[in-house]
Amino acid sequence: MALQNHLPPLSSQFVAHFGEMGSRWGINRTVGQIYALIFISQRALNADEIAESLEFSRSNVSMGLKELQSWRLVRLRHQQGDRREYFEAPADVWEIFRVLAEERRRREIEPTLSMLRMALLEAPASDAERHAQARMRQMHELIDRLMTWFDDVQKLAPETALQLMGMGATVTKVLELKDRMTGRSPVARKKA
C-alpha cells in the first residue's frame, strides 16, 4: 500500500482503517484517510503535505478538505509568512464527537423529524394510513425523546458525560448479578 512508503506503520494502519470505515460512515475513503492523517498529525498540515503523504491528487485533497470543513471536523489555520492554508483537527476528542453528532443530527435526524411532524398533521384517509400514522407517531416520539436526552447530555461537562456513559456498564453488571442471584436468564428479563 502506498501509505506505508510515506507514513510510519502505526500511522499507516490507522489512516488505512479510517479510509475503510469512511464508506460505512457515509464519507468516501479519501476523506476518511485525509481526516485520519490530520487527526494524528503533531502539527497543522497543508494540502500539498497531505497529498504527498497519502499519494492523492491535489484536487482530491482539496475536495476532501472542503467536505471536512463543511462537517466542521477540521480547522483552517494560517501561518505567518506562508500563504498556504493549514488544517488541523480539534485536539479534544470530546469536541470532535460533539461536532460530529451535531452535524449528523442536522443533516439526517432533523429532516426526518420534520417529515414525521408533517405526516402526523395529515388526516388519515384509511385504516392503513391510520396504522402507518400510528407507527410514525411512535418513531417521532422516540426520536424526539432521544434528541431531548442528547441536548441534555451536550450541556454536561465532558467528565460528567463520561461518568454517565460508564453508568450503562454499571447498570448492566448489576442486572447480570441480579439475574445470577435469582436464577433468571437475561432473555427472560428482556421479555418481561
CATH architecture classification, 3-88? Orthogonal Bundle (1.10)
Domain residue extents for the chain: 3-88, 93-158
Q: What is the Cα Rg of the chain in Å? A: 23
Of 94, 96, 92, 108, which is closest to residue 147 (Cα–Cα)?
108
Instruction: Locate 94 and state its grid cell.
Output: 470530546
Q: How many helices (H) and strands (E) does the chain have?
A: 10, 3
Report the C-alpha gap between 144 and 133 in whole angstroms.
16
Report the C-alpha gap between 128 and 137 in whole angstroms.
14
Position with higher pLDDT, 157 vs 5: 157
pLDDT tens for each residue of 29-77: 999 999 999 999 999 999 999 999 999 999 999 999 999 999 999 999 9
Q: Do 34 and 54 meet the contact criterion of CB atoms below 8 Å apart?
A: yes
pLDDT tens for each residue of 77-98: 999 999 999 999 999 888 888 8
Q: What's the whole-model pTM score? A: 0.72
